[in-house]
Copies of this chain bind each other. A is one copy, B any other.
């Protein structure tokens, strides 16, 4: 029996929209697998290779870039981060759905390589709410908060590149909607060419 291939779900949206919380909840409630990123930054205490990240040397990472081994990658503050293609493809081929939590810039890059993935934009309920969430983290100074809010405004414009938009007013509702989206996508004619009786 052939296994029906899993679906790649790309969860994105501006910082502060609540992607991370939603993602954790989805992993708890379903058997969706999490796409583990690769990075060249050093592991922090308690982090394990192949769990939080795949920890690579700069040389290993650059070699993988050249071998087209990433769905997307970026260099942030002198450290590389990327999404290993082989990991995602292995998960999907086993019939599991795979969730990729990523910022809108990364999501756009992934879309070029995986146009048939499902792109979900997580949206804060209002701009004021987003401002509150970013402020309440208490970790950033005023300048940093202003920068992030203006960045979020920019990112909101990218919603047109997505299939679905889910407003994260209540996490439970957002998770319910994403589960419905995944179930619906499994019923798409385009994903079921061989299902119908001949």
A positions within 8 Å CB-CB of B: 120-121, 123-124, 126-127, 130, 156, 159-160, 162-167, 176-177, 179-181, 183-185, 187-189, 192, 195-198
Contact partners of A162 in chain B: CB under 8 A: 189
Which residue of A123, A167, A184 has the most chain B CB atoms within 10 A of its CB atom?
A184
Docked Cα-Cα span, A192 to B196, in Å, equals: 32
Inter-subunit contact B197/A123 (CB<8 Å) = yes
Q: What is the oligomeric copy number? A: 2
State in angstroms the CA–CA spacing of A166 and B127 once bound together. 38
Say whether A165 contacts B196, CB under 8 Å: yes
- Our pick among B123, B159, B163, B189 for the contact of A163 (Cβ within 8 Å) is B189
Q: Report yes or no: A197 in contact with B130, Cβ–Cβ below 8 A.
A: yes
Q: A196 CA to B162 CA in the complex, in Å?
A: 13
Residues of B within 8 A of A165 (CB): 187-189, 192, 195-196
Roughly how many angstroms separate A171 CA and B166 CA in the complex, as a whole number?
Answer: 28
A188 CA / B184 CA spacing, docked (Å): 12
List, in ascending order, chain B residues with CB within 8 A of A176's CB.
183
Q: A124: which B residues are within 8 A, CB to CB?
A: 197
Contact present for A187 and B159 (CB under 8 Å)? no
A184's partner among B126, B164, B167 (CB-CB below 8 A) is B164
Q: Chain B contacts of A195 at CB under 8 A?
A: 123, 165, 167
Q: Is the CB of B164 within 8 A of A189?
A: yes
Cβ–Cβ contact A189 & B159, under 8 A? yes
Provide the residues of chain B in CB contact with A127, threshold 8 Å. Answer: 197-198
In the bound complex, residues from chain B placing their C-beta under 8 Å from that of A159 are: 189, 196
